[in-house]
Amino acid sequence: MAAQHILIVDDEPSIREVVALYLQREGFTVDAAADGRSALDLATARRPDLVVLDLMLPELDGFEVYRRLHGLGDVPVIMLTARGAEGERVSGLEMGADDYVVKPFSPSELVARVKAVLRRVNQLSPAIDPLAAAMVFTDLRIDPRARVVEALGRTAALTAREFDLLWFLARHPGMVFTRSQLLDRVWGIGFFGDASNVTVLVRRLREKIERDPSQPQFIVTVWGVGYKFEPK
Protein backbone atom coordinates (compact mmCIF):
# COMPACT_ATOMS: atom_id res chain seq x y z
CA MET A 1 0.00 0.00 0.00
CA ALA A 2 1.33 3.46 -0.94
CA ALA A 3 2.36 5.71 1.91
CA GLN A 4 -0.24 8.30 2.82
CA HIS A 5 0.65 11.83 1.83
CA ILE A 6 0.54 14.78 4.26
CA LEU A 7 0.75 18.46 3.34
CA ILE A 8 2.11 20.76 6.08
CA VAL A 9 1.30 24.46 5.73
CA ASP A 10 3.04 26.80 8.18
CA ASP A 11 5.15 29.91 7.79
CA GLU A 12 7.54 28.89 10.56
CA PRO A 13 10.43 26.83 9.10
CA SER A 14 11.16 25.07 12.40
CA ILE A 15 7.58 23.78 12.65
CA ARG A 16 7.59 22.54 9.05
CA GLU A 17 10.91 20.76 9.52
CA VAL A 18 10.13 19.11 12.85
CA VAL A 19 6.61 18.00 11.91
CA ALA A 20 7.84 16.64 8.57
CA LEU A 21 10.59 14.67 10.34
CA TYR A 22 8.15 13.10 12.82
CA LEU A 23 5.65 12.21 10.08
CA GLN A 24 8.33 10.72 7.83
CA ARG A 25 9.53 8.56 10.73
CA GLU A 26 5.99 7.12 10.84
CA GLY A 27 6.08 6.26 7.14
CA PHE A 28 4.17 9.22 5.69
CA THR A 29 5.31 11.14 2.63
CA VAL A 30 5.33 14.88 3.21
CA ASP A 31 5.12 18.13 1.28
CA ALA A 32 5.52 21.47 3.06
CA ALA A 33 4.49 25.01 2.17
CA ALA A 34 5.26 28.34 3.83
CA ASP A 35 2.24 30.23 2.49
CA GLY A 36 -1.28 29.67 1.26
CA ARG A 37 -0.66 30.01 -2.47
CA SER A 38 2.20 27.52 -2.42
CA ALA A 39 0.02 25.14 -0.43
CA LEU A 40 -2.74 25.26 -3.03
CA ASP A 41 -0.23 24.69 -5.84
CA LEU A 42 1.15 21.61 -4.06
CA ALA A 43 -2.33 20.28 -3.28
CA THR A 44 -3.37 20.70 -6.91
CA ALA A 45 -0.27 18.93 -8.19
CA ARG A 46 -0.64 16.06 -5.72
CA ARG A 47 -3.81 15.66 -3.71
CA PRO A 48 -2.87 15.11 -0.06
CA ASP A 49 -4.53 12.54 2.18
CA LEU A 50 -4.52 15.13 4.98
CA VAL A 51 -3.45 18.76 5.48
CA VAL A 52 -1.93 20.24 8.63
CA LEU A 53 -2.88 23.90 8.21
CA ASP A 54 -1.79 26.93 10.18
CA LEU A 55 -4.46 29.64 10.27
CA MET A 56 -2.09 32.62 10.35
CA LEU A 57 -0.39 32.58 6.95
CA PRO A 58 1.02 35.14 4.52
CA GLU A 59 -0.58 35.59 1.10
CA LEU A 60 -3.79 33.74 1.95
CA ASP A 61 -4.91 33.00 5.50
CA GLY A 62 -5.73 29.49 6.62
CA PHE A 63 -9.49 29.96 6.36
CA GLU A 64 -9.26 30.91 2.68
CA VAL A 65 -6.84 28.06 2.01
CA TYR A 66 -9.27 25.66 3.69
CA ARG A 67 -12.15 26.91 1.55
CA ARG A 68 -10.16 26.47 -1.66
CA LEU A 69 -8.82 23.07 -0.62
CA HIS A 70 -12.35 21.77 -0.34
CA GLY A 71 -12.92 22.90 -3.90
CA LEU A 72 -10.45 20.15 -4.81
CA GLY A 73 -12.36 17.48 -2.89
CA ASP A 74 -13.10 16.37 0.65
CA VAL A 75 -9.60 16.65 2.15
CA PRO A 76 -9.24 16.10 5.92
CA VAL A 77 -7.70 19.09 7.69
CA ILE A 78 -6.10 19.57 11.10
CA MET A 79 -5.87 23.27 11.89
CA LEU A 80 -3.10 24.87 13.95
CA THR A 81 -4.25 27.75 16.16
CA ALA A 82 -2.50 30.10 18.56
CA ARG A 83 -2.91 29.58 22.28
CA GLY A 84 -5.90 31.54 23.55
CA ALA A 85 -7.34 32.06 20.04
CA GLU A 86 -10.65 30.39 20.87
CA GLY A 87 -12.46 32.34 18.16
CA GLU A 88 -10.15 30.87 15.52
CA ARG A 89 -10.67 27.37 16.84
CA VAL A 90 -14.46 27.69 16.83
CA SER A 91 -14.42 29.22 13.34
CA GLY A 92 -12.30 26.33 12.09
CA LEU A 93 -14.67 23.77 13.56
CA GLU A 94 -17.66 25.60 12.10
CA MET A 95 -16.06 25.40 8.67
CA GLY A 96 -15.73 21.63 9.09
CA ALA A 97 -12.12 21.08 10.17
CA ASP A 98 -11.52 17.53 11.39
CA ASP A 99 -9.40 18.52 14.39
CA TYR A 100 -7.27 21.34 15.75
CA VAL A 101 -3.99 21.65 17.61
CA VAL A 102 -3.03 24.61 19.79
CA LYS A 103 0.48 26.06 19.51
CA PRO A 104 2.92 25.32 21.03
CA PHE A 105 2.32 21.61 20.63
CA SER A 106 4.06 18.28 20.91
CA PRO A 107 5.02 16.86 17.50
CA SER A 108 4.25 13.37 18.80
CA GLU A 109 0.73 14.45 19.76
CA LEU A 110 0.19 15.97 16.32
CA VAL A 111 1.29 12.73 14.66
CA ALA A 112 -1.16 10.84 16.88
CA ARG A 113 -3.95 13.20 15.81
CA VAL A 114 -3.03 12.76 12.15
CA LYS A 115 -3.28 8.98 12.53
CA ALA A 116 -6.60 9.26 14.38
CA VAL A 117 -8.17 11.47 11.70
CA LEU A 118 -6.95 9.19 8.90
CA ARG A 119 -8.37 6.15 10.69
CA ARG A 120 -11.75 7.85 10.87
CA VAL A 121 -11.87 8.90 7.23
CA ASN A 122 -10.48 5.59 5.93
CA GLN A 123 -13.16 3.44 7.50
CA LEU A 124 -16.91 3.67 7.60
CA SER A 125 -18.18 5.00 10.91
CA PRO A 126 -19.54 2.21 13.14
CA ALA A 127 -22.67 4.33 13.57
CA ILE A 128 -23.50 3.85 9.87
CA ASP A 129 -25.04 0.68 8.47
CA PRO A 130 -24.80 1.04 4.68
CA LEU A 131 -27.58 -1.51 4.18
CA ALA A 132 -30.07 0.21 6.45
CA ALA A 133 -33.27 1.58 5.01
CA ALA A 134 -33.92 5.29 4.77
CA MET A 135 -35.58 6.94 7.75
CA VAL A 136 -38.42 9.35 7.02
CA PHE A 137 -39.84 11.99 9.35
CA THR A 138 -41.87 15.14 8.83
CA ASP A 139 -39.72 17.46 6.70
CA LEU A 140 -36.72 15.12 7.04
CA ARG A 141 -35.49 12.05 5.14
CA ILE A 142 -32.16 10.35 5.91
CA ASP A 143 -30.80 7.88 3.34
CA PRO A 144 -27.73 6.03 4.71
CA ARG A 145 -26.98 4.20 1.45
CA ALA A 146 -26.56 7.40 -0.53
CA ARG A 147 -25.59 9.40 2.57
CA VAL A 148 -28.13 11.99 1.51
CA VAL A 149 -30.41 14.06 3.72
CA GLU A 150 -33.50 15.87 2.47
CA ALA A 151 -34.84 18.56 4.79
CA LEU A 152 -37.58 21.12 4.27
CA GLY A 153 -38.09 20.00 0.69
CA ARG A 154 -34.47 20.26 -0.44
CA THR A 155 -31.22 18.30 -0.25
CA ALA A 156 -29.16 19.40 2.75
CA ALA A 157 -25.44 19.82 2.06
CA LEU A 158 -24.05 17.93 5.05
CA THR A 159 -20.42 17.15 5.71
CA ALA A 160 -19.50 13.54 6.46
CA ARG A 161 -19.30 14.25 10.19
CA GLU A 162 -22.65 16.07 10.21
CA PHE A 163 -24.27 13.10 8.52
CA ASP A 164 -22.69 10.65 10.96
CA LEU A 165 -23.95 12.63 13.93
CA LEU A 166 -27.48 12.96 12.56
CA TRP A 167 -27.68 9.28 11.63
CA PHE A 168 -26.41 8.17 15.03
CA LEU A 169 -28.92 10.30 16.92
CA ALA A 170 -31.80 9.34 14.61
CA ARG A 171 -31.09 5.64 15.17
CA HIS A 172 -31.52 6.18 18.90
CA PRO A 173 -34.66 8.34 19.11
CA GLY A 174 -35.44 9.80 22.51
CA MET A 175 -32.12 8.68 24.02
CA VAL A 176 -30.02 11.41 25.62
CA PHE A 177 -26.28 11.41 24.91
CA THR A 178 -23.69 13.54 26.63
CA ARG A 179 -21.16 15.42 24.53
CA SER A 180 -18.45 13.02 25.68
CA GLN A 181 -20.52 10.05 24.57
CA LEU A 182 -21.07 11.62 21.16
CA LEU A 183 -17.35 12.29 20.81
CA ASP A 184 -16.68 8.60 21.44
CA ARG A 185 -19.48 7.30 19.20
CA VAL A 186 -19.20 9.69 16.25
CA TRP A 187 -15.63 11.03 16.31
CA GLY A 188 -14.11 7.87 17.75
CA ILE A 189 -12.54 6.99 21.08
CA GLY A 190 -9.10 8.05 19.83
CA PHE A 191 -10.24 11.61 19.16
CA PHE A 192 -8.36 14.27 21.13
CA GLY A 193 -10.87 17.11 20.90
CA ASP A 194 -13.27 18.43 23.51
CA ALA A 195 -17.00 18.96 23.91
CA SER A 196 -16.95 22.18 21.90
CA ASN A 197 -16.60 20.04 18.76
CA VAL A 198 -20.02 18.56 19.45
CA THR A 199 -21.58 21.92 20.26
CA VAL A 200 -20.32 23.46 17.02
CA LEU A 201 -21.39 20.48 14.91
CA VAL A 202 -24.89 20.45 16.41
CA ARG A 203 -25.27 24.16 15.66
CA ARG A 204 -24.18 23.66 12.04
CA LEU A 205 -26.48 20.68 11.63
CA ARG A 206 -29.49 22.52 13.03
CA GLU A 207 -28.92 25.36 10.57
CA LYS A 208 -29.20 22.86 7.72
CA ILE A 209 -32.16 20.67 8.78
CA GLU A 210 -34.30 22.63 11.23
CA ARG A 211 -37.07 25.00 10.17
CA ASP A 212 -36.10 27.29 13.08
CA PRO A 213 -32.59 26.47 14.39
CA SER A 214 -33.22 28.57 17.52
CA GLN A 215 -36.16 26.29 18.39
CA PRO A 216 -35.10 22.91 17.02
CA GLN A 217 -37.62 20.12 16.57
CA PHE A 218 -35.30 17.23 15.80
CA ILE A 219 -32.01 17.74 17.64
CA VAL A 220 -33.08 18.82 21.09
CA THR A 221 -30.85 20.07 23.90
CA VAL A 222 -31.32 18.42 27.27
CA TRP A 223 -29.91 21.11 29.52
CA GLY A 224 -27.08 20.01 31.75
CA VAL A 225 -26.81 16.65 29.99
CA GLY A 226 -26.49 16.69 26.20
CA TYR A 227 -28.64 16.09 23.14
CA LYS A 228 -31.34 13.76 21.85
CA PHE A 229 -33.26 13.19 18.61
CA GLU A 230 -37.00 13.71 18.70
CA PRO A 231 -38.79 11.95 15.81
CA LYS A 232 -41.61 13.98 14.28
Domain termination residue (choose one: 121, 153, 182): 121
Whether 26 is covered by a domain: the verdict is yes
**Which secondary-structure segment (H or E) carries 121?**
helix 107-121
Q: What is the pLDDT of residues 8-26, one digit of tens each?
A: 999 999 999 999 999 999 9
Number of domains in the chain: 2
Count of Cβ atoms closer than 10 Å to residue 117 Cβ: 24
The Cβ of residue 115 has, within 10 Å, a number of other Cβ atoms equal to: 16
Element (H, E) at 87: helix 86-95
Q: pLDDT by residue (tens digit) across 68-101? A: 887 777 788 898 887 666 666 677 776 777 788 8
CATH of residue 184: 1.10.10.10
Single-letter amino acid, residue 25: R
Q: What is the pLDDT of residue 177?
A: 92
Query: pLDDT digits over 169-226, tens only?
Result: 998 999 999 988 888 777 765 555 567 778 888 998 999 999 999 999 999 999 989 9
The reported pTM is: 0.62
Q: Do residues 127 and 167 touch, judged by C-beta distance below 8 A?
A: yes
Range of the domain at 53: 5-121
In sequence order, the 6+-apart residues with CB closer than 8 A to the CB of 107 are 18, 19, 21, 22
Partners of 54 in the β-ladder? 80
Residue 76 CA neighbour count, 13 Å, CB half? 21
Residue 129 counted as domain residue = no
